[in-house]
Structure 1
């Protein structure tokens, strides 16, 4: 598939018990069982320094949600659009890509996969079947704290089926998660240091070819998560 990511190892995602508290601190014991993974692929924009941007993240799961912890070092954060549905990709935001059944393929104006843009104020936007942006705040609960130039994000992500209808949200319920389940996943960050448009877009996955800004269209570039069962009791 054009633009697909090179095959890489699965990310083994540990079970969280209890689930993390979404407070933007990342101090829960569940996070200690997950590995940090880099957010170091430049999908758009010129080369930068670590002082301008660097990022890393962890993922854990429960039977109800995926949980994401991201640590973003960014010298300037910007959110200039008061309307969350206006050019949301040009403000600083954390972007969570998820393909619940890892079916891959095109998802630009459908829900075969999701590209949740989580804004600094917590609003969550993705495109709908009508090719318009919609708020999906109920899909992703998040909290962000900032100390100096480092922001800590925590997010709880509900997974919804490809039959989801944004005009009839009550008709769809979140999918249950189970051990061994493969999930397509990528994380990215839109970075704007004061321009009319974002200057950079950093992602978690290497993307082949010149056009690396494919995540919002093609779930084939996502990485792979594997939900790990709980460790057996030693009793």
Structure 2
């Protein structure tokens, strides 16, 4: 597909090590496997103004095995906001992690297709994305079988939050009616990837959207990842 936007500005592809031991998704992140992964920053502003560190700051690690990609994120956030009980109602305006995945790193438009995924991981664990249009309405879909997450936090604000997430990588042949099987991952595989956090401190809309990869603005907007996978970075799976 033709890209809608200039590619993400990143220095190099991120190399992701294969987990040498089991990763338990419990939000504790005390597994020895995490010690082999390097910290990566979340410092690129895409919506709003740059928050103070106690309002939002984040970093993350990645690992993989043959069945899934593992993500661990450490987030500082002074307000945890979840104002939409219906999981498909304006989920992007609640606090959530957004994980962008393009299985074959092909880039291109994915706004109403599964050419790539923009998984919003809500505080309640629901996994949301925009699917193909049905009639004249935008189709928001729950894809809870694609990612499993748990998080824990400190007792007082600003909260120190630890997320752990396992993500199955589905190809662009996925459909809701015929999902097929997730890919078996292997060394040297290249996957399109970006991570971001929607931060809301109690407003009608999210106040900040901060991510892992710099995105070049198109028509004044850097909020392009949910439309165009060409702004993702790339990860390379290493033995």
Q: TM-score, normalised by structure 1?
A: 0.94
Establish whether residue 141 from structure 1 lines up as the match of residue 148 from structure 2: yes
SS of alignment partner, residue 153 of structure 1: strand
Q: What are the equivalent positions in structure 2 for 1:68-107 lying under 5 Å apart?
A: 68-107=71-110
Which structure has greater strand proportion?
2
Asked whether the 8 Å contact 1:55–1:72 carries over to 2, the reply is yes
- Equivalent position of 2:206 in the other structure: 198
8 Å CA contact retained: 1:3, 1:212: no
Matches within 5 A, 1:1-235: 2-130=5-133, 131-147=138-154, 148=156, 149-169=159-179, 172-209=180-217, 210-229=220-239
RMSD: 1.1
Alignment gaps of 5+ in structure 1: 230-235
8 Å CA contact 1:94, 1:190 repeated in 2: yes
> How big is each residue's C-alpha offset from its partner over 1:40-76, in whole Å with a ceiling of 9 and x where there is no partner?
1110002321011100000000000000000000000
Superposed displacement of residue 7, structure 1:
4.4
Give per-residue Cα distances to partners, 1:182-204, cap 9 Å, x unaligned.
11100000000000111110110
Alpha-carbon offset, residue 17 of structure 1? 2.7
Q: Pick closer, same or farther for the CA change 1:50–1:7 going to 2, 3 Å.
A: closer
| Runs of 4 or more above 2 Å deviation | 1-4
Gaps of 5+ in 2: none
TM-score normalized by the length of structure 2: 0.92
